[in-house]
Structure 1
Amino acid sequence: MAGVSVAAEWQLLYNRYYRKPELYQMQWKHVDLTRNKVACAPFGGPIAAIRDDAKIVQLFAESALRKLRIFTSSGRLISETVWKNPGGRLIGMSWSDDQILICITQDGTVYFYNIHAELINNFSLGKECFESSVVECVFWGNGVVCINELFGIFAVPDLKNPRAIKMSDCNLEDLPHCIAVIEPQYTMSGNVEVLLGVGDHVLLVEEDGVQQLGVGIGPLQKMVVSRTGKLLASFTHDGRLLVMSTDFSNIIFEYTCESALPPDQLAWCGMDSVLLYWDDMLLMVGPYGDPVRYIYDEPIILIPECDGVRILSNTSMEFLHRVPDSTVSIFQIGSTLPAALLYDALDHFDRRSAKVVYLYYLNASRNYILMKSFSSSYLPLGYENLRLIRSSLSEAVEACIDAAGYEFDISQQRTLLRAASYGQAFCSQFQRDFIQEMCKTLRVLNAVRHHEIGIPLSIQQYKLLTPSVLINRLINAHKYLLALRITEYLGMNQEVVIMHWACTKITASLGIPDASLLEILLDKLKICKGISYAAVASLADKNGRRKLAAMLVEHEPHSSKQIPLLLSIGEEDTALVKGIESGDTDLVYLVLFHIWQKRPSLEFFGTIQARPLARDLFVTYAQCYKHEFLKDFFLSTGQLQDVAFLLWKESWELAKNPMASKGSPLHGPRIKLIEKAQQLFSETKEHIFESKAAEEHAKLLRIQHDLEVTTKQAIFVDSSISDTIRTCIVLGNHRTAMKVKTEFKVSERRWYWLKVFALATIRDWDALEKFSKEKRPPIGYRPFVEACVDADEKAEALKYITKLTDPRERAEAYARIGMAKEAADAASQAKDGELLGRLKLTFAQNAAASSIFDTLRDRLSFQGVS
């Protein structure tokens, strides 16, 4: 009986059943579709209505002001706003894929409204549309095509990035009979194509050309492109419905209507049929068989969906769609398919047949044994049905689950799922999570279909839309509680819901004190772990609630998000503390640079002085890039020695300048820097050494600078005292060499070493000899010998070898100039056998000399000297 009552509401179009369940009784009052321009969003979206200013209508109790009103699909008012008619008459409006209401006025201005009737953007189609009014427009998902009074065609392919494109000129002399658009995603070129019904043919207009199609097929009065962009339904001047490919190469089917009067609306119902609507009749035409007629005594609007058409009237919302195969298999009158028998078995089960109840609770394998062992006469009728379909039981269960998904009636959903569950108990191989998944889906769909929410999605629409998009639409409609429950139920991320709620709460709660609002926000934000408190705080700051933002950001666990926001709201000191606590030097530097730019130097210095990590990081950076600023910091904190070290370092940096080695213009500033450093060092007792070193460094640089000026040779600066003395002697400037010796208290021993080797370098042997006779050299004569030997002057070396008092030194000196006998004599005087052995090795190539050393060594051994 249930199958009879369900199927009785179906209409047969050739071999396909269609049904038209009522989704809602509209909750609005005094809304007459004939008096309004209406735009209905697909996927169960909102309805926008505004009084049509192109019609003369009688005003009853309503205001003369026109209002743009937005309703849910169940007719509940979401929002409204006064329409101020800013750009002339409203030519057309439609909803984008993102549920943004697009309104186009006569002057070519495009206005964007959200579902709360708030104007969020606008742009102009251009000068040509402003000067020659827009007269018609055709929308698709995220685009629109407009025609102005001069028959210019303008397209906006993407309303998210609005930019008007002028299409090719068609040389029209009158407005086309009808317009249709093939969306860019369905064209070969990837650009929008506009179809114009002109005369007895159709013009295909693109940005870069115009084609003539279907010559002789028209005139066409109405055209509509299918959802896939492949088929075109059209109504001809002589009352024929033509369905053809969009390239006009093939007519799929043709139907002659009873009237040649063009329908008010033409729409696709899925992909299997086309709907034509006149004043009181809706005609559904398929490729085969007689059409189906529906009579209406009130105006309707057709809202195409991916799987059917929603029908809006003044009082109700219906959904006309094809009956799914699974539903037909169960409820078709006289059906004996497995799904129908399973559904019937549940009916017997519900009558509380004792044996069926008992068998239902047995395990699946035992049920099969019982089904085979009991005779059919002994078992109740419900169990007999199961026995008949046991080989197709999984197929029947699947059909019941599938049919439940297509139902809008909750009691029917429940019955079908119970039938599936009943059959599943006897079907061990069926995957049990199928029912659970369908239950989840239906709970979500039933929740959003409720008249309070008013989103009548079918299961196909829901799958195409996806749960995440549905959640976004719920939160945009401020249905936060439902969105939160759905995300929790489906295991989705709840952060997007909580964040949107928090932002809306802050915007709409300007009268609530910050502390109270903080408690409200924290109570909800804690629901979602890992949520960004910084993002919420940022929005609070943008809404002028800086105190609230500061309180919110305290709860942000991630320093990388917390600190930038603290800086943006002026909480620099708190940001610095947080950065130091995080231990992340990059974050500390971020805060330091921010404070550095905003505060006076002394205030900045005071801020970082009390924080060692911040101070040390600043010093490290400034040492490399900001010496002057660092000097100011050290001076402000009394660290004179650090300033001195910086000045000394700067002097060395100045020395690296290539110009510093070209004779001196930069040496003056260097000396002054070192002298300043010396003065600063002298003010602290702990840096006496550094003060003295700086003083001597400056004095040496001045002498070296004068020498380079005098000699015109850049060879003195930055050399050591010893090198300076040596160079002076080599150049013959003995007076300056002596001056350097005296100034820097060079010791006599050091002075003699330097002068001996300097004179040897210039081979001034007379001066060397004279120098050796001035007084007894404090370094002895050995350096004189070494200097002469190094210069390969053996004769000069002999002058000083004889003056060596140590026979060992004398023996080694003789050996160095190749005098074996003299070396042997000196070694024998020293009575050093080891020395004789070493000297013998020196003369190993000379047999006679080796013999001398051997003889002397034997003699020493005989005498007992080692």
Structure 2
Amino acid sequence: MEKIADVQASATVDWSPLGDIYVKKTVHYHLSWDKNLDQCSVAIAPYGGPIALLQKLSKSGGDSKSILIYSQAGNPISSIPWEGGRLIGMGWNSNEDLICILEEGTMAAYSINGLLKYSRPVSREVREHRVLDCKFFHTMEGSGGFAVMTNCYQFFVVADTCRPRDEIRVKKVADLPSMTVRPNCWNVLTPQCNILVSVEEKLYILDQYEAIPQSVLTSKKDPSVYWAEIAVSVDGKAVALVDKGGYLWGGTSDFKTCETEMDLQSTAKVLAMEWGAKDFFVLVMEKLIFVKGFGKHWCKYPGKLGCCLQPEVDGLRLVSNTTSEFIHRVTSQSLAVLRIGSMEPGALLNDAFKEYEGDESHKADEYIRFIKDKLPDAILQCIKAAGEEFEPALQQSLLRVRLFDMYASTHTRKN
């Protein structure tokens, strides 16, 4: 069996410091499909669920004849013959039903096996004015829904798409002060399901009764540059904004606190932007994946073809043409045991086992004597750290430390 020191030698190599925290990008799957996601409409289910693809055949909005459903590993599950109209967007609810929104104002729900469960108009007004754009969202409680923007720039929200067909409730939020200018960008603020929308240089929160102007305190040089993307954290408490000039702002969703701002000094188009839990947000550009934490802290990864993002309650899922990856915060238990120089009981017990395996039992004895009164805490830290890791070999190495407890306990009793 491989020694613990060898297994754990690279455990922290891919940790990236982000202020007071570390983030890590873990490859979960090398995908078995042969797809170019840049040419597809993509819907990724949360919690590691399925992925739906509909290939776009032309710039005029025509779509291929089937929606293909894959597992998170890229293995085919089912297909849905697509004979409907122009698809505006699709997303998954918490029952793993695929909800499709059509331009004509219809919503259709399909099971993961590709069976049609129901089809109905979103509402009479939506059907009358047709759908221009839609956004899907999920909440911390596990429910999910969508919002649509019609061709006359009105917004309608369905908060829970798991309800039966005839029990689905549609909420219309307040109209914008001006209905003649198309919004630059917008998103849904959970859990209230209000709409955060940017129109020219102004920002509004639309609730059920009024459009509330928002003032964003920024240090950007040109306030007249429009916001280009809005991202909202899963818990709805944090918001990120980026303008076309590459200026970033991140803070609380009531805009009373600015947690971070930065000028990227780049006009490269932001293809996607989402929060990873509430600790950081990620921007996808053509040649770069940029991770922004609070304060002045950031890190970056090389860009990938076809990057699509799905926010999760504990991180961010990144699916590309070739891989399914997870960007997440390194947990406190993993930091306690694996971080270089840690003096936590679990880290010292782990170091003691490494020395014992390396025929340096006298050094192992020194570690054990140092933590003899905290052995139960040390063991619990190692077990919890194993539960936070994704790599099986690393998990096993941390659990093997538990077996070393027998040696450590015997040593402690003798002394």
TM-score (norm 2): 0.87
* Cα distance in 2 for residues equivalent to 1:208 and 1:128: 17
* Cα distance in 1 for residues equivalent to 2:61 and 2:11: 42
Partner of 1:406: 388
Partner of 2:145: 143
Distance 1:164 1:329, change over 3 A: closer
Question: CA contact under 8 A between 2:32 and 2:74: conserved in structure 1?
Answer: yes
* Cα distance in 2 for residues equivalent to 1:208 and 1:14: 40
Partner of 1:717: none
Q: Secondary structure at the match of 1:383?
A: helix
Aligned-residue offset at 1:57: 11
Distance 1:42 1:67, change over 3 A: same
2:194 partner letter: E
> 1:818-845: CA deviations, max 9, x gaps?
xxxxxxxxxxxxxxxxxxxxxxxxxxxx
Size of the aligned set, in residue pairs, is 389
Aligned-residue offset at 1:426: 4.0
Partner of 1:52: 56
Pick from 297, 316, 322: which aligns with 1:315? 322
Bigger proportion of residues as helix: 1
Distance 1:65 1:152, change over 3 A: closer
2:338 partner letter: F
Question: CA contact under 8 A between 1:4 and 1:332: conserved in structure 2?
Answer: no
Pick from 24, 34, 50: which aligns with 2:29? 24
Pick from 142, 156, 159: which aligns with 1:157? 159
* Cα distance in 2 for residues equivalent to 1:215 and 1:285: 19
2:18 paired with 1:9: no
* Cα distance in 2 for residues equivalent to 1:32 and 1:56: 19
Partner of 1:423: 405
Aligned-residue offset at 1:180: 1.2
* Cα distance in 2 for residues equivalent to 1:182 and 1:425: 54
2:258 paired with 1:257: no
2:52 partner letter: A
* Cα distance in 2 for residues equivalent to 1:56 and 1:298: 23
Partner of 2:279: 272
> 1:698-730: CA deviations, max 9, x gaps?
xxxxxxxxxxxxxxxxxxxxxxxxxxxxxxxxx
Q: Secondary structure at the match of 2:11?
A: helix
Question: CA contact under 8 A between 2:247 and 2:263: conserved in structure 1?
Answer: yes
2:373 paired with 1:391: yes
Aligned-residue offset at 1:216: 8.0
Question: CA contact under 8 A between 1:394 and 1:427: conserved in structure 2?
Answer: no
2:25 paired with 1:43: no
Listed as ranges, the matches of 1:784-863 within 5 Å are none
* Cα distance in 2 for residues equivalent to 1:244 and 1:15: 17
Indicate the structure whose relative CO is greater, using CA pairs within 8 Å and at least 6 residues apart. 2
Bigger proportion of residues as strand: 2
Q: Secondary structure at the match of 1:20?
A: strand
Aligned-residue offset at 1:286: 1.1
Give unmatched runs, 5+ long, in structure 2: 139-143, 411-415
* Cα distance in 1 for residues equivalent to 2:296 and 2:206: 35
Partner of 2:76: 77
2:93 paired with 1:109: no
Aligned-residue offset at 1:424: 6.1
Aligned-residue offset at 1:99: 1.2
Listed as ranges, the matches of 1:627-666 within 5 Å are none
Asked which structure has the greater CA Rg, the reply is 1
Q: Secondary structure at the match of 2:47?
A: coil
Q: Secondary structure at the match of 1:419?
A: helix
Partner of 1:225: 232
Give unmatched runs, 5+ long, in structure 1: 59-63, 357-378, 429-866
Q: Secondary structure at the match of 1:31?
A: coil
* Cα distance in 2 for residues equivalent to 1:42 and 1:425: 43
Question: CA contact under 8 A between 1:329 and 1:340: conserved in structure 2?
Answer: yes
Question: CA contact under 8 A between 1:274 and 1:285: conserved in structure 2?
Answer: yes
Pick from 123, 127, 133: which aligns with 1:126? 123
Aligned-residue offset at 1:113: 0.6
TM-score (norm 1): 0.43
Partner of 1:235: 242
* Cα distance in 2 for residues equivalent to 1:100 and 1:243: 32
Aligned-residue offset at 1:109: 0.4
* Cα distance in 2 for residues equivalent to 1:216 and 1:306: 28
| Superposed CA RMSD | 2.4
Partner of 2:206: 205
Partner of 2:288: 281
* Cα distance in 2 for residues equivalent to 1:147 and 1:31: 29
Partner of 1:100: 97
Question: CA contact under 8 A between 2:37 and 2:321: conserved in structure 1?
Answer: yes
Question: CA contact under 8 A between 2:54 and 2:64: conserved in structure 1?
Answer: no
Aligned-residue offset at 1:112: 0.1
> 1:605-646: CA deviations, max 9, x gaps?
xxxxxxxxxxxxxxxxxxxxxxxxxxxxxxxxxxxxxxxxxx
* Cα distance in 2 for residues equivalent to 1:244 and 1:89: 36
Pick from 336, 340, 362: which aligns with 1:333? 340
Aligned-residue offset at 1:39: 0.3
* Cα distance in 2 for residues equivalent to 1:164 and 1:336: 55
* Cα distance in 2 for residues equivalent to 1:169 and 1:16: 41
* Cα distance in 2 for residues equivalent to 1:289 and 1:230: 20
2:14 partner letter: E
Partner of 1:68: 67
